[in-house]
Chain A
Amino acid sequence: MIDEVFSILITTLYFSSVIILIASGLTLIYGVMRIINIAHGAFYALGLYIAYTVYSALKAPELFFVAVPIAAVVVGVISLPLYMLIYKGVSQLNEDFQILFTFGLLLAMLDMNKLIWGLNYYTAYEPFSLLGYVDVLGRQFPVYYFYIIGLAAAMLAAHQAVMRYTRLGVRVRATASDIELATTIGINVRRISALTFAVGAAMAGIAGASMLPISGAFPGIGFDEMVTSFIVVAVGGLGSIKGVVATALAISGVRVIAIRTFPELDLILMYALIALILVFRPYGIFGKVGRKI
């Protein structure tokens, strides 16, 4: 019994860590810039592909864990000119147009991966098998799961630390809460916004790169991840990292339990739960009613 509980717990943590890694970047960008970036999934896919390219150039399974940060930095760097050229205008658009516009960007950016990497299905299982398995109460778990969980935990901790205890965090929070007031007290709002955007994109890049050994890289990846993280951000309450964590844990838990009991119904139950939450709390679990989020 206790081993079953542990098993559910660990798998839930693993599932939700992947979602947290993607969705927290999305909610961070929304919180600071008020941009609903549906194209965020493209940064995830980009991270996957770049990690593959770097990894295959390094030719050693251990060095995969070097490829991950490299991919994240590259994604962050690529996102900056995109932000300067395209996204500055997006924040001026109304919500409906933002949704359609960034949806168009998602389609275009995901197809651009085909131009660069073709239609192949790239796999890289070696880092996964390299870490092997660990025994928890008589059950086997891939060590790679714990790497993903640790990554998400470290990222959340770093986010909290920066936001709470550094001058930069204060500036970011000031920009998020009132952009005009932040400008008048001398904060370089543009630089903060650009930085937030790049960091958010890099977070999706880390998530993508880290999932390479599990999912592989192939055309069309990014759509499912996008819809899940978009929904998680909305259900959690736009701009709320706390909400992302709570929602990711909740829907992953439902999904893991469903997989064990009614494997056919896992996605169905997950979306039913989401729809139900949004019916009763349309502004999200931690969203503020009335505030135009």
Chain B
Amino acid sequence: MRPAIVLAVAMLALAVSVPFVSQTAMLIALFGFIFSITAIGYNIAYGYGGMISLGHAAFFGAGAYTVGLMNRHLGMGELAVLLPLSMAAAVLVALPIAPIAARLSGLQLATALLAYSMLYYSLVLKLGPITGGSDGISIGGLAVLGYEFPDRQALGLFIYFASLALTVLALFLVKRFLGTVGGRLVLAARDNPLRLEFLGYVPARAKMAAFLISAAMCGLSGALYASALQFVNADLLYWTMSGEILFMVIFGGVGTLLGPILGAFVLSGLRFYIATTPDVGIYWQLALGVIIAATIYSAPRGLIHSIYRAATLIRGSKGGGHG
């Protein structure tokens, strides 16, 4: 346990110092932490609840568009209001489909959620006068607790530390949650719903709760994403975004605590590299596609498992990895 604590403190110190060391590293880590919240949220539904989704872009987008729409129509820029509101909005979007998510599984669920999320994509695209359509919305005048950010730099720094803190908080809460009765119920509902029913519990209720928590976290990260970029557009709700979220979780390690964070940082780093390298930018999907295919062939249990295995090999045979 002790080396783990040392490692955690070292990682945290590294994360805190990053913005003061390198601008590039900060940008990668900024979106790394924002996507970490997305991936941890998705992992609650998929990894722990067993509900595969090709529709989480809708919840991510709901959070992002809460910031965009409130900003555009009401001139609202207070993040202390917008961030909780975005979580509520994502839950609201997830609520009608949550009972379905709890009942279906596998391909049927993935498709149902895909269709459901495309409904919101087409809403945003078609209601141009309200949502800005495919042009999107530019966001300005963001503030926190009345303090208005003077420039992009200050805003970026705030979002960075907010995302870092929220990622750590999310990790902590997920770990705690898995130990509680509610968390055990979610895992049991994934592994053996029938037996759970015999014991007098309602598996669907546990799954629904996991699904809504998952949506709320995706909404929160969507709001952070929109605030960091000061821009939203309909692409955030397109089905390929859901595919990228699924990728982060499978790449890092499904149903593990730290895997989603790993996946999020890899996606963020890849996006940054591709976007800033001339002549490569247009081949972003090619790179991602090849990485996805290679991951599933070589490390289907996720990168985190490969790391744990390497660590146990180095330390000798004592102790395995923890999930």
Contact = CB atoms under 8 A, between A and B. Distances in A.
A105 B289 CA distance: 6
A3 interface: no
Nearest to B50: A96
A249 interface: no
Contact of B116 (A93, A103, A275, A293): A275
Contacts of A100: 243, 246-247, 250, 292, 296
Given A230-B111, A279-B100, A99 B239 contact: no
Q: Report which residue of B115, B126, B284 has the largest number of chain A beta carbons within 10 angstroms of its beta carbon.
A: B115
A109 interface: yes
Contacts of B286: 107-108, 111-112, 114-115
Contacts of A219: 282
B108 A99 contact: no
A278 interface: yes
Interface in A238-286: 238, 264-268, 270-272, 274-275, 278-279, 282-283
B125 interface: yes
A238 B111 CA distance: 11
A62 interface: no
Binding site secondary structure of chain A: helix
B108 A283 contact: yes
**Interface size of B as a range:** 35 or more
A103 B250 CA distance: 13
Contact of A96 (B52, B100, B123): B52
Contact of A227 (B109, B118, B283, B300): B118
A78 B97 CA distance: 40
Contact of A231 (B115, B288, B297): B115
Contact of A234 (B103, B107, B243, B247): B107
Contact of B290 (A104, A119, A231, A279): A104
Interface in A175-201: none
Contacts of A283: 108
A108 B250 contact: no
A126 interface: no
Interface residues of A, number: 46
Interface string B165-205: 00000000000000000000000000000000000000000
B289 A111 contact: yes
A99 B283 contact: no
B246 A97 contact: no
B293 A105 contact: yes
B106 A96 contact: yes
Nearest to B238: A223
A23 interface: no
Interface string A73-109: 0000000000000100100010111011101111111
A36 B283 contact: no
Contacts of B118: 227, 231, 267, 271
A216 B115 CA distance: 26
Interface of B: 52, 54, 97, 100, 103-104, 106-112, 114-116, 118-119, 122-123, 125-127, 238-240, 243, 246-247, 250, 282-286, 288-293, 296-297, 300
8 contacts: A86-B293, A93-B300, A96-B110, A105-B293, A108-B288, A108-B290, A231-B114, A275-B112
